[in-house]
């Protein structure tokens, strides 16, 4: 895939980046080089390769999945205008 000058302008517009006309050619070359590299990566055979999270084998640190209130419920609702049993009270907006 090759990127032309119009595509560079469109990408810059979508990204809301101000690009001078003198920079278009340079950016076009940069984007084409990136896309060529991605095409090279797609040629690599990765069948049978397990996904990994690190280059060194290790177990991910996990915390126990325990439901609790964080023990700071009073601090959380302290500044609320109206509360009841650690819940925020809000005015009814739908009849």
Mean pLDDT by 10 residues, the chain (95 residues): 92 95 95 94 89 81 85 88 90 86
Give pLDDT, residue 63.
87
50 φ/ψ angles, rounded to the nearest 5 degrees = -75, 140
Alpha carbons 38 and 31: distance in angstroms, whole number: 11
Give pLDDT, residue 71.
84
| Among 62, 76, 94, 95, residue whose Cα is nearest residue 86 | 76
Alpha carbons 71 and 55: distance in angstroms, whole number: 38
Give pLDDT, residue 95.
78
């Amino acid at each position: 895939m090759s990127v032309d000058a119009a595509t560079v302008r469109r990408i810059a517009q979508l990204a809301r980046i101000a690009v001078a006309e003198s920079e278009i050619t340079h950016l076009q070359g940069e984007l084409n080089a990136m896309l060529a590299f991605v095409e090279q990566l797609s040629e690599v055979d990765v069948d049978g390769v397990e996904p990994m999270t690190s280059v060194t084998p290790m177990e991910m640190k996990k915390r126990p999945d325990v439901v609790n209130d964080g023990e700071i419920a009073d601090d959380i609702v302290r500044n609320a205008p109206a509360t009841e049993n650690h819940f925020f009270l809000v005015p009814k907006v739908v009849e």
